[in-house]
Amino acid sequence: MAKYDVRVRYAFEGTYTVVAEDQEEAIQMVSEECGLVLGGNIHTILDDEDVDWKFGTHPNMQLLSVTQRNGKESSASIYFSGRIEELREDIINEIRQLLHSHCMNEIRFPKEESDPVWVIWFDKNGDPYECRVTGLHVTDSSLRVVAEEKEGGYEVECHSPFELGARNIDWLHEMYDAVWRQLEGEENVEPETEKS
């Protein structure tokens, strides 16, 4: 028998509803004036008419690492795959929710996009091609990335959860930002869309 240090993270997820002048003030109010203490309750110093919340009572547990204790230094076995997959799913869900909040399941990005998202697409032979993302399509269980190959200009598709162009969390984050800018940002660009 041996002793092990098993590092975990407990995450509570929920929503604060606050009365604020704008998004920045709402973020500041929640960041600075709302919280949770282990063994305590959700608390806030905001007035009752300015805030409400909805949180589950049981947290999600993430396994972070395991280290065997044997009296000397030893390296930890760190578990990233579950956290990465959870982050990937969170980003895709946020893209889906953003589109659905505008009664959409598909969006096309303007060709003159000043800051396009680039992905790598692999053909049937496994050869990589740099592609500019031109659109996204979501369903309840998947994300399809539509892109234009840089050199040939032909259209390709990447499907989640299997192809890199629809799995890489950095690219997914950039796709979320592009959708947000087009639908919610200050650019007020009229989106090319297909209604759901």
Whether pTM > 0.85 for this model: the answer is no
Say yes or no: 121 and 138 in one domain.
yes
* Region label for 97, one of left (φ > 0), alpha (ψ between -120 and 50) or beta (otherwise): alpha
For residue 91, what are the domain limits? 87-195
Say yes or no: 96 and 146 in one domain.
yes
Say yes or no: 105 and 75 in one domain.
no
The two structure tokens encoding residue 145: 């990335």
> Which among 28, 50, 79 is the end of a domain?
79
Say yes or no: 8 and 31 in one domain.
yes
Contacts of 90 (CB under 8 A, 6+ apart): none
Residue found by looking up tokens 């592609």 in the block: 131
The two structure tokens encoding residue 110: 């303007």
Average of per-residue pLDDT across 139-146: 92
- Determine how β-strand 155-159 pairs with β-strand 143-149: antiparallel
Query: How many structural domains does the chain have?
Result: 2
pLDDT digits (tens, 9 = 90+) for 24-47: 999 999 999 888 777 767 778 888
Average of per-residue pLDDT across 157-185: 89
> Which among 79, 96, 129 is the end of a domain?
79
Say yes or no: 98 and 64 in one domain.
no
* Helices assigned H by DSSP within the chain: 23-33, 81-100, 169-183
The two structure tokens encoding residue 82: 């579950």
What is the Cα–Cα distance from 66 to 75, expressed in whole angstroms? 9
